[in-house]
Chains A and B, each alone.
Chain A
Amino acid sequence: ILNVEQSPQSLHVQEGDSTNFTCSFPSSNFYALHWYRWETAKSPEALFVMTLNGDEKKKGRISATLNTKEGYSYLYIKGSQPEDSATYLCAPTGGNSGYALNFGKGTSLLVTP
């Protein structure tokens, strides 16, 4: 089981604000880092799967960066909208976790108009 820390636990921003949150994970034997978006009463949906140190991925207003040497990933949301309200989960693979995907507890984002 990989120890995954996500911060902050929750975040409340105004519409139009940009925001970012952090996922920290063990850097040894790292293989890949997953990000998922989970809206209330729905199922998690994949945002990104990142494998390379320095990798940066973007989907609309959401982007993510990866630092495998120090063991962290940042998720950025530019110009937050109410529909961005969700819990954002990260999950690394690697080390002795084998084929398991161990999720962090997530960052809960609320965007109000």
Chain B
Amino acid sequence: NAGVTQTPKFQVLKTGQSMTLQCAQDMNHEYMSWYRQDPGMGLRLIHYSVGAGITDQGEVPNGYNVSRSTTEDFPLRLLSAAPSQTSVYFCASSYSAPGTSGLSSYNEQFFGPGTRLTVL
């Protein structure tokens, strides 16, 4: 299993450009999520999905769109990049959504390697 993969690893954008950060997992996980990591702020949740066709907003969703057309993929779209979106982005997945019943290990999050994005 490749686990959770993210592409690209690094990206530089100009203000106003759009791009999509890719995230894929091969573990048949139902739950996927996107976080951004900023100095002094920790990991902040952007969007999450509890299954194909279902997405919801996290703590900092503005400026980002997501979709979940398949179980495996959960892309994050920046429609018009801004310097405030300079960050490291992590995708994560788990067998079941946090807060749902079942073995607690089902909720353990598996993180991708991250994408470092700079917006000039």
Contact = CB atoms under 8 A, between A and B. Distances in A.
A99 B42 contact: no
Interface stretch (B12-20, B65-73, B74-82, B96-104): B96-104
Contact of A32 (B58, B90, B99, B111): B99
A98 B56 contact: yes
Nearest to B114: A43
A32 B112 CA distance: 22
Contacts of A64: none
Nearest to A99: B97
A39 B33 CA distance: 20
B26 interface: no
B41 A102 contact: no
B99 A43 contact: no
A45 B99 CA distance: 19
Contacts of A31: 98-99
A59 to B, nearest CB: 12
B45 A102 contact: yes
Contact of B45 (A32, A51, A101, A105): A101
A51 B104 CA distance: 7
A89 B111 contact: no
B111 A99 contact: no
Contacts of A104: 42
Contacts of A71: none
B107 A49 contact: yes
Interface of A: 1, 31-32, 34, 36, 43-46, 49-51, 89, 91, 93-94, 97-106
26 contacts: A32-B104, A34-B107, A34-B109, A36-B109, A43-B111, A43-B114, A46-B108, A46-B109, A49-B107, A51-B104, A93-B99, A93-B107, A98-B56, A99-B31, A99-B48, A99-B56, A99-B97, A99-B99, A100-B56, A100-B59, A101-B33, A101-B109, A102-B45, A102-B59, A105-B40, A105-B41
